[in-house]
Amino acid sequence: MSRSSELFQQAQALIPGGVNSPVRAFKSVGGSPLFIERADGAYIYDVDGRAYIDYVGSWGPMIMGHNHPAIRQAVIEAVSHGLSFGAPTAIETIVAEQIHKLMPSMQKIRMVNSGTEATMSAIRLARGFTGRDKFIKFEGCYHGHADTLLVKAGSGALTLGEPDSAGVPADFARHTLTATYNDLNSVAALFAQHPGQIAAIIVEPVAGNMNCIPPQPGFLQGLRELCDQHQSLLIIDEVMTGFRVARGGAQAYYNVTPDLTTLGKIIGGGMPVGAFGGRADVMDYLAPNGPVYQAGTLSGNPVAMAAGLASLRLISDENIHKQLAQTSAQLAQGLRDKAAKHSISLVVNQVGAMMGYFFTERSEVTCFADACSNDSQRFNQFFHLMLEQGIYLAPSPFEAMFVSTAHQQGEIEATLEAVDRAFAQL
Ligand code: PMP
């Protein structure tokens, strides 16, 4: 028995499902998850001493590769001054400045500890500011696990076939309206049905929790216009896309200005961090200035801020995103070429450093229904064929795939060779 399997067995006795976040459990692909000992650059190393080229990147934060020396050093320095003070520190403003510079629509910013907190708080703020209860989300989009957002959710909820979670009272979810991604008519219809009642739209600007689905031309602009027309707020959830799709996030890439933005992952450099921010007049509705309450014992934690600042400084270099987009494009095209060679029907979507592949007969994948046409049996087989060859992919057909700056030519070529051998066996 592998050491990973042994540890997984032990974990299951004390931790539900043996994991602290469901999709880690390999439940949909089957088998025992790898237990990781360490990671460096493009590689993760499991407790059995095997190395893997990693395309999960801790689900997004590791855009500069694992264990980046500048981030590690920043953390070590911060730790030497103490772990938490529960009082303001200078670095919180410096991080806010850095975020504002990269995303100017974020005029004011509040730090939290996860993406879930960021979206949950942004929704509360939008409701408080507009005095309206309802909001619109899209089927297959995931915005963390707050009660009102676990409605037709993506990511692990979808992977486990639970897009609507048990334990969420129908009364809590009844103000959550769901529309179809890339379908403006479905959004307009909801505004028509609920006039003057919709506080906000929350959207993943590139959907990354039903695999990877980019917005169709005009979709995000259309949401902006609908929000303006109905005095609702547009919340762009850039927890995944922020500083990954482009230097200024998806809002810069697609040239759309939200009222509020939510962030996570990269802004913590691997530490637990989230943030939300946007229009100053809206953000000033937050306590202690305004009536919308939101707080956190460890929010703006100095060690997390140090890691985040180092990460943000690294990704501020424009060339980083050119390199990341090139690497992703090369990998995406390589996947398409190998699929054609082996007569496998495959759709590959890619935007900047975010991508995804679908074993589907459809010619394109633009919404949740398309994403569900992904042949999950084929996906699982492919996943394990790649894992055996030392390539660590996301263990779900509903997750996006990430490269980092540490993924160099050698890693991409090795990955595509493994794809070639895997496709030959499908
Ligand atoms: N929003 C989006 C778009 C996400 O991808 C995620 C997590 N993958 C979240 C929110 C929730 O973030 P967290 O897991 O940090 O709570």
Reported as a single tens digit per residue, the pLDDT across 26-73 is 999 999 999 999 999 999 999 999 999 999 999 999 999 999 999 999
Q: Are 365 and 348 in contact (CB under 8 A)?
A: no
Which of 242, 299, 311, 300 lies closest to 270, judged by CA? 311
Q: Which ligand 1 atom sits closest to the C-alpha of 238?
A: 3
Collect all residues with Cβ–Cβ distance below 8 Å to 173 and sequence separation of at least 6: 147, 148, 150, 151, 164
CATH 3.90.1150.10 fits 3-67+318-425, yes or no: yes
Q: Which ligand 1 atom sits closest to the C-alpha of 155?
A: 8
Percent of the chain whose predicted confidence (pLDDT) is above 90: 97
Task: Indicate whether residue 144 lines ligand 1 (CB < 6 A).
Answer: yes
Judge whether residue 157 has pLDDT over 90.
Answer: no
Radius of gyration of the chain (CA): 21
Is the ipTM reported for this complex over the cut 0.85?
Answer: yes
Architecture of 69-315 per CATH?
3-Layer(aba) Sandwich (3.40)
- How far is CA 410 from each of CA 44, 138, 160, 357, 413, rounded to the nearest angstrom? 16, 38, 34, 21, 5
In the reported structure, the alpha carbon of residue 268 is separated from the centroid of ligand 1 by a whole-number distance in angstroms of 13
Q: Residue holding tokens 């050698």?
A: 410
Sign of the alpha-carbon dihedral angle for 362, 365, 369, 373: positive
d(CA 163, CA 140): 8
* Ligand 1 probe mutation, 24, 142, 212, 299, most atoms within 8 A of CB: 142
Which of 346, 364, 14, 366 lies closest to 186, judged by CA? 366
Judge whether residue 268 has pLDDT over 80.
Answer: yes
Place 142 in a pLDDT band, splitting at 50, 70 and 90.
Answer: very high
Query: What is the structure's pLDDT at 163?
Result: 79
Q: Residue holding tokens 């943000």?
A: 312
pLDDT digits (tens, 9 = 90+) for 333-348: 999 999 999 999 999 9
Q: How many CB atoms lie within 10 A of CB 207?
A: 32
- Which sequence positions are flagged as catalytic? 142, 237, 265
Query: What is the structure's pLDDT at 407?
Result: 98
Residue with the smallest CA separation from ligand 1 atom 7 is 144
Query: What is the structure's pLDDT at 237?
Result: 98
- How far is CA 25 from each of CA 22, 394, 396, rounded to the nearest angstrom? 6, 11, 10
Any idea what DSSP says for residue 356?
E
In the reported structure, the alpha carbon of residue 117 is separated from the centroid of ligand 1 by a whole-number distance in angstroms of 9
Task: Indicate whether residue 114 lines ligand 1 (CB < 6 A).
Answer: yes
3-state SS string for 49-89: CCEEEECCHHHCCCCCCECCHHHHHHHHHHHCCCCCCCCCC
Task: Indicate whether residue 119 lines ligand 1 (CB < 6 A).
Answer: yes
Q: What is the pTM of this model?
A: 0.98
Residue with the smallest CA separation from ligand 1 atom 12 is 115
Judge whether residue 161 has pLDDT over 80.
Answer: no
Q: Are 58 and 270 in contact (CB under 8 A)?
A: yes
What are the sequence ranges of the domains in the chain?
Answer: 3-67+318-425, 69-315
What does the chain come to in residues?
426
Q: Residue holding tokens 């915005």?
A: 143
- How far is CA 43 from each of CA 66, 86, 389, 407, rounded to the nearest angstrom? 7, 36, 13, 9
Task: Indicate whether residue 264 lines ligand 1 (CB < 6 A).
Answer: yes
d(CA 396, CA 377): 11
Query: What is the structure's pLDDT at 132?
Result: 98
The strand ranges marked E within 226-310 are 233-237, 260-263, 274-278
Q: Which ligand 1 atom sits closest to the C-alpha of 204?
A: 3
